[in-house]
Structure 1
Amino acid sequence: MLYHVTDWDDAYANGPHIPDADSYPPRWRAAAADFRATHPNEPLGRGHLFRPRGQPVGLAVFIHGGYWMRFGPPDWSHLAAGPLAASWAVALPAYTLAPEARIAQMTAEIARAIADAAGRVGGPIAITGHSAGGHLAARMICDDGTLPAAVAARVSACVPISALADLRPLMRTAMNDTLRIDAVEAATESPALLVPRMGIPLTAWVGGMERPEFIRQSRLLADLWAGLGAATDCVIDPGRHHFDVIEALAHPDSPLTRTLLSR
């Protein structure tokens, strides 16, 4: 079947294609607040670091989405529940949102936050993120020195969820008035256009009911990096859309959480 995008704004619009979409953000915030009320955390810059009872197995990192323009760690604390129950510490780093920051600055901020958390928690590091956070998760394992070498050497897995791996199509959307992605930034900040660090398995995870562009981008990242010698997989999670595909992170035995924490 011929695939041809004619409306780039609609191609990357999730809410209009998800039933009762407006109810999700308040539910996320409420679940996150309830989780923090019973799970104390320590500050990680403007983000959070949750510790399990006893010695952590390692450090799991979740980077939030919102098209680099919305949300923050306090909206997503509940997604730490799965790795935390599996005895992993969980970092939810914050980054400056557009238009106050460009994507390259966000990349650098996330790398510093992960290095900070890695200095407090030993063991392997498993990195995930959703949508724009999936982009930043994949960006952390590019072989360009984004993460300090000693930290990158500890990364055991990367699972970008519904990731935006190629920024060039977003230059055609109205949101780029805020993001200000140009050709240079797209070339230097798109994981699909960069070389991955070898030895880190990547699983691109995406909902089967997501917009076709998100499925295409996930396949693109896995395919291109496989062609460069990385170990990759692409999981299309049946029945899941862009807003509920991340819910499995709250459960330690879900396939998504197990994939993230595999070593």
Structure 2
Amino acid sequence: MNPEAEYNNRARVPEHPAVMAGWQRDAAAWRESCPRAELGLAYGAGERERLDLFWPEGEASAVVVFIHGGYWMALGREWVSHCARGLNFHGVAVAVPSYDLAPGVTIGTIVAQMRAACAFLHRRHGKRLMVTGHSAGGQLAAMMLATQWRALDPALPADLVPAALPISGVFELEPLLPTSIGAALGITAEEARAASPRFLPKPGGVIHCVVGGDESPEYLRQTRDMAAAWGGTAEALPGLNHFTVIAPLADPGSALVGHAKRLACRQ
């Protein structure tokens, strides 16, 4: 197994610049056309500790958090606003946070920031949250499901995040260590293990792990192993790679949006 070939998604998908340019175009369009969007809400003190909250027409039946990817080192909420579109059409509100980027901060700090964003949303709207996310955001979504919320704040419900839907997540970080990604992150083996939800105790709640059917064997394996470890389910979406796998989130009629809605509204 060649770790670099397995985990360097930009090298595996040469057409990724065009796909990501499409993200930017579609995200900007949804920020303009969403029925109601609250942009730049501060969940913390830092410049990137902000989230955008996209509301459906009428009252929201649930609130979902979508966390962007970029191997914890790139991108931001403005790249993926369109991932709220499908759920918005089904009456579900979607929050899209940014976070500080590694290696300027540790992955542990990013996990703490996403916990702060979830706590902020609960205090503001009083709802439990289904958390989803792409790539690094998939790892972060799983970490939210595993969080002991009352240890952070006794006023928070223990099941603040009762369900997670990680998409193309990295749930074991140690295989990244010998790659260019691991070198750029600058993480130690101990830090990688601590940030690997695959090895955390099985939490309460529900997890459904999704991956593109055309992704690397390691991404497919990690998805299966993560679901098995926590008693969840796994699904590979045929014909989709690491960059196209989030496209169904913008489509109200997609099976992925339907599954996300069921997880969000089961609380």
Question: Under a length normalisation based on structure 2, what TM-score does the superposition of the two structures give?
Answer: 0.88
Shift of residue 124, structure 1, vs aligned partner: 3.8
Contact preservation (8 Å) 2:20, 2:243: no
Aligned to 1:164: 170
Contact preservation (8 Å) 2:173, 2:195: yes
Distance change in 2, residues 1:216/1:183 (3 Å)? same
Q: Deviations over 1:169-206 (max 9, x none)?
A: 011112222212212212221100101321x1100101
Give distance in 1, aligned partners of 2:80 and 2:158: 24
Shift of residue 120, structure 1, vs aligned partner: 2.2
- Secondary structure (helix, strand or coil) at the match of 1:236 reads strand
Shift of residue 37, structure 1, vs aligned partner: 1.3
Shift of residue 16, structure 1, vs aligned partner: 2.9
Q: Deviations over 1:4-60 (max 9, x none)?
A: x1x211111223333522211211111111111122323233221112222211111
Aligned to 2:41: 44
Aligned to 1:229: none
| Number of equivalences | 252
Aligned to 1:192: 198
Shift of residue 144, structure 1, vs aligned partner: 4.1
Aligned to 2:79: 75
Aligned to 1:58: 62
Match of 2:214 among 189, 209, 213: 209
Q: Deviations over 1:58-85 (max 9, x none)?
A: 1111000011111000000011001111
- Secondary structure (helix, strand or coil) at the match of 2:73 reads coil
Q: Deviations over 1:136-170 (max 9, x none)?
A: 00011115448756355143421110110001101
- Secondary structure (helix, strand or coil) at the match of 2:101 reads coil
Q: Partner amino acid for 2:168?
A: S
Q: Deviations over 1:204-263 (max 9, x none)?
A: 10111111111111011011122xxxxx00011111111111111112332211222211
Contact preservation (8 Å) 1:44, 1:113: no
Distance change in 2, residues 1:77/1:129 (3 Å)? same
Give distance in 2, aligned partners of 1:248 and 1:19: 21
Aligned to 1:136: 140
Give distance in 2, aligned partners of 1:211 and 1:259: 24
Distance change in 2, residues 1:147/1:101 (3 Å)? same
Identity %: 37
Pair 1:17-2:12 in alignment: yes
Give distance in 2, aligned partners of 1:220 and 1:24: 28
Pair 1:252-2:252 in alignment: yes
Distance change in 2, residues 1:147/1:34 (3 Å)? farther
Gaps in structure 1 of 5+ consecutive residues: 227-231
Match of 1:155 among 156, 161, 175: 161
Aligned to 2:46: none
Contact preservation (8 Å) 1:165, 1:221: yes
Give distance in 2, aligned partners of 1:87 and 1:152: 25
Give distance in 2, aligned partners of 1:163 and 1:103: 14
